[in-house]
Structure 1
Amino acid sequence: MSLQAERAYKITANDKEVFHRDGYWISPKLIDDDQIERLRKAHERIWSGDYDGDGLPMNPFRLPDNPHALRKLDNGWWINDEVRGVVTDPFIGELAADLLDTDEIRLWHDQVIYKPGVGLNVSQDGNVGWHQDYGYWLCSNSSDMITVWIALQDTDLTNGAMSTILGSHKWGLIQGSDSFFNQNMEELKEKHAGGRDWVEEPCILKAGQASFHHGLTFHGSGPNQTLNPRLSIVAHVMKGGTRYRAGIQRHDNIRLLGPRPVDGQAFDNDYFPVLFQR
């Protein structure tokens, strides 16, 4: 398919079946090579502190002392126009809406992620531990959220591709699944599997493709054993009408509801822009 045709892609019944069966679905190419290159340059600007506008990302960022450490920044759309363009893309919103059978998709927050290349060094420094994204988002009243992980280069296990645990979104919320930063993958596997079948499947992506995984799908990634960084832009999205659950768990998005958030308040202001609405 040409990119123009790919951008007009519609979710099929088979796509929905795969997403609901496995907990994730891989898209056709969403962005062209020119946009990929612009987003790679956006990475360079962001990590050097060169921001668009006078704002700041959600959390302050400084380069880690360890050159092998993962770099992660939340809400890059606040500080970079290229990131803003892709994480608020209506086409991405429409694909997510169809996978979730909903009429509106809003941005929950984004992430800009840089996994350094360490070559063949034996290191866990770039690992992302097995986790469920919703384990961090318990302040929202629905786990029906999707993470759209967009590759900015061809991505496979050699450069630290993400792997998912097939069908793990059907396990429900697992206690302690907010384990992104625990880099001991074997320890986490033993902890989270709980006797269930643990089937790892890598998300092999061409540059510009994305994986769409459910908020309860366990996923993680190992080291980048090339000499080039693995770059990605990530849009975490939610159904329109997703609401705040008070007193469950702290998350920075709660502050974006205003000075006195109340239980049941919708995440529907300008900090949570609409990507798609029927």
Structure 2
Amino acid sequence: MKETVGHITQEDKEFYKENGYWVSPVLFGEDEIAELRRAHDRIWSFDYDGDGYPLEEWRPSNNPKMLRKIDNSWWINDAVRKTVTNPVLGRIAAGLMDSSGARLWYDQVIYKPGTGTGEKDALSPGNVGWHQDYIYWQCTDTPNLVTAWIALQDTDLTNGCMSVVPGSHKWGLLGGSDAFFNRDLEAVKHRIAQESGREWKEVPVTLKAGQASFHHALTIHGSGQNHSADPRLSVVAHLMPDGMAYKKHGHHNVDNIRLLGPRPKEGQRYDNHYWPLLYAEHSHQD
């Protein structure tokens, strides 16, 4: 990782505060990208580091023609672990969250299949429906989390880059925003726009290989069809402010709550080894 670009400016913070997302310079070099692409191949082949298993797996028939996602692969792949726990990511996230430190909430490795055709498919199997991350994370006492989405190839609309709705992190939590697996992006867009009562404006987040986009947990985002012949690969780090605690709520990420122990209590902090500390101001990490 290119640590010299891990600092963000006040202007960067203001852009993020206003728009709910921010794009970094290139953070990862060619060798690191190649290592993470190999990690993808190993993960989808069940070739794990160590004897454990990831937290949760979602990969129907392990079909390379379908969207594939795996959570907490840092448990079972050393390259992913090194990436999503890097203090430079933590320092950027802490700055954007206006926090003194940042921990890993969890990671995702995502494979979006390529169709290899110019034909538009409104229900492409690689579509990721418009959603807000926080609708899945209501077991936390704050929505002030940030996601770092790391591109492992140049990524734009031709291969299904992520798009965001700028400023939507100010709209609050919307009931219809739990549509990650809904491939009908137009229908989801219509539903969310109607519920929010706001003007819908989406912006594609184009990235060079090794760049990362950061977005707020309430920012509406999704991605469409990958028209290229190659899969679109990414590694995603969901990051939380140090000191975040459990909040009892009916809709939550059950798997993450489970890691607090058999009987979590309101106010219990997410601060054990399942949520490693990436960065803290007092430690003077670079």
Structures share a fold, TM > 0.5?
Answer: yes
Tell me what 1:216 maps to: 218
The alignment partner of 1:72 has SS state of strand
Question: Residues 172, 61 of structure 1: CA spacing in aligned structure 2 closer, same or farther, 3 A cutoff?
Answer: closer
Aligned twin of 1:264: 267
Unaligned runs of 5+ in 2: 282-286
Cα deviation, 1:31-66, whole Å, max 9, x if unaligned, reads 110000000000000000000001100114555365
Match of 2:175 in 1: 175
Percent identity, aligned pairs only? 57
31-40 vs 112-121, which deviates more?
112-121
Letter in 2 for 1:274: L
* Distance in 2, Cα, partners of 1:66 & 1:272: 30
> 1:21 — aligned with what?
18
Q: Cα offset for 1:69?
A: 1.3
Task: State the match for 1:162 in structure 2.
Answer: 162
Instruction: Assess, with a 3 A threshold, how the Cα gap between structure 1 residues 35 and 65 changes in structure 2: closer, same or farther.
Output: closer
| Partners of 2:62 and 2:68 within 8 A in 1 | no
Query: For residues 165 and 196 of structure 1, what CA distance do their matches in structure 2 show?
Result: 11
Q: For structure 1, which segment, 55-64 or 123-132, has the greater mean C-alpha deviation from structure 2 after superposition?
A: 55-64
Are 2:44 and 2:62, in contact at CA under 8 Å, matched by a contact in 1? no
Partner of 1:133: 133
User: Comparing 97-106 with 154-163, which one deviates more in the overlay?
Assistant: 97-106
Q: Which residue of 1 aligns with 2:256?
A: 253
What secondary structure sits across from 2:186 in the alignment?
A: helix
SS at match of 2:163: strand
* Offset at residue 95 of structure 1 (A): 0.5
Deviation at 1:193, TM superposition (A): 1.1
SS of aligned partner of 2:41: helix
Q: Cα deviations across residues 103-133 of structure 1 (Å, max 9, x unaligned)? A: 0100000000001111225352110000000
- Alignment CA distance shift 1:130-1:80 (3 Å): same
Cα RMSD after superposing both structures? 1.4
C-alpha displacement of 1:226: 0.2
1:191 — aligned with what? 191
- TM-score (structure 2 length as normaliser): 0.93
SS at match of 2:26: coil
AA aligned to 2:13 is K
CA–CA distance in 1 between the matches of 2:192 and 2:62?
A: 31
Q: What amino acid is the match of 1:75?
A: N
| C-alpha distance in 2 between matches for 1:86 and 1:155 | 19
Match of 1:69 in 2: 66
What is the CA–CA distance in structure 2 between the aligned matches of 1:147 and 1:266, rounded to whole Å? Answer: 20
2:79 is aligned to: 82
Q: Secondary structure, in 3 states, of the residue corresponding to 2:218?
A: coil
3-state SS of paired residue (2:108): strand
Q: Structure 1 residue 250: deviation in Å? A: 3.5
Unpaired stretches in structure 1, ≥5 consecutive residues: none
Distance 1:61 1:188, change over 3 A: closer
Amino acid of the structure 2 residue aligned with 1:100 = M
Question: 1:34 aligns to what SS in structure 2?
Answer: helix
The secondary structure found in structure 1 opposite 2:156 is coil
**Structure 2 CA distance for aligned equivalents of residues 155 and 65 of structure 1:** 23
CA distance in 2, matches of 1:255, 1:170: 30
1:118 counterpart letter in structure 2: T
